[in-house]
Amino acid sequence: MEHKDSVVSAEWLHARLGDPDVKVLDASWYMPDEQKDPFQEYQVAHIPGTLFFDIDGITDRTSNLPHMLPSEEAFAAAISALGITNKDKVIVYDGKGLYSAARVWWMFRVFGHDQVWVLDGGLPQWQASGFDVKSCSSGDAILKANAANKAVEMAYHGELLGSSTFSVNFQPHLIWMLDKIKQNVNAQTHQHLDARSKDRFNGVAPEPRKGVRSGHIPGSKCIPFPQMLDGAHMLLPVDELRKNFEREGISLDHPVVLSCGSGVTACIVALGLYRIGIPDVPVYDGSWTEWEAQPDTIKLTAASNS
């Protein structure tokens, strides 16, 4: 069955759980100040048959920025180690409802795999629907999670890997780097939307990462990611999403680029735009963490704007 939306319901997944071509990933991840171990939580409670996707492991090992997109070779190696093929339907969820799963949805799309969806409402909605969770992980699932991380490490060391079951088709238009953001500050070809809270955007609340000051990129607008979600952390209907963008002065007829703190919550806004019918929105991978660290970039706050 073809599913055009960016999310699937718990009922949809429950009806297909165990199908050989449906692979489910727990992509839970938490901010540094939350001090939670997502892999430990996965082992305590997860949807049956789920594998763990480590956002901080399947990453660019040459960058000192958090969880930057890995190389094509590293991603292919990791996904192959998880036993996923290009024919599979990939469903991603997280423990918060709808949070870090959107990042992994975006990663798969950057590497050309469009058969990927986020579980709407995540693990909380799955449990609220009365569906079972497993409280122990099979040895195979733990081995695969560790093998995926090891495969990334080997790829960055240039070591030969085993046969790949997953091939990538890189989509460069879905990812922006620092240079393109710098150009956009001057050219303003794209509306730049920042998914962080208004207080962090305005420089009046601290960033969750040590040594990173808050503020925003010149020309950007703040649309906090919770504006995509309802009280149950499920994606809002199309008409409500449209209203929320329009309320913030965003024209859905003009191109958009997204950022946040480190490239995770921007993907929730991308998920909302996909539901509206705007599928190919780029995310600035380094986001504010990279921009703030540059000596030559302008950083604005509410005070500097006034």
Q: So which residues are the catalytic ones?
A: 260
Beta-carbon count within 10 A of 303 CB: 10
DSSP-derived 3-state class of residue 175: strand
The number of residues in the chain equals 306
Q: In angstroms, what is the C-alpha Rg of the chain?
A: 19
> How far apart are the C-alpha atoms of 295 and 186, rounded to whole Å?
18
DSSP-derived 3-state class of residue 64: coil
Q: What kind and span of H or E run contains 284?
A: strand 283-284
DSSP-derived 3-state class of residue 123: helix
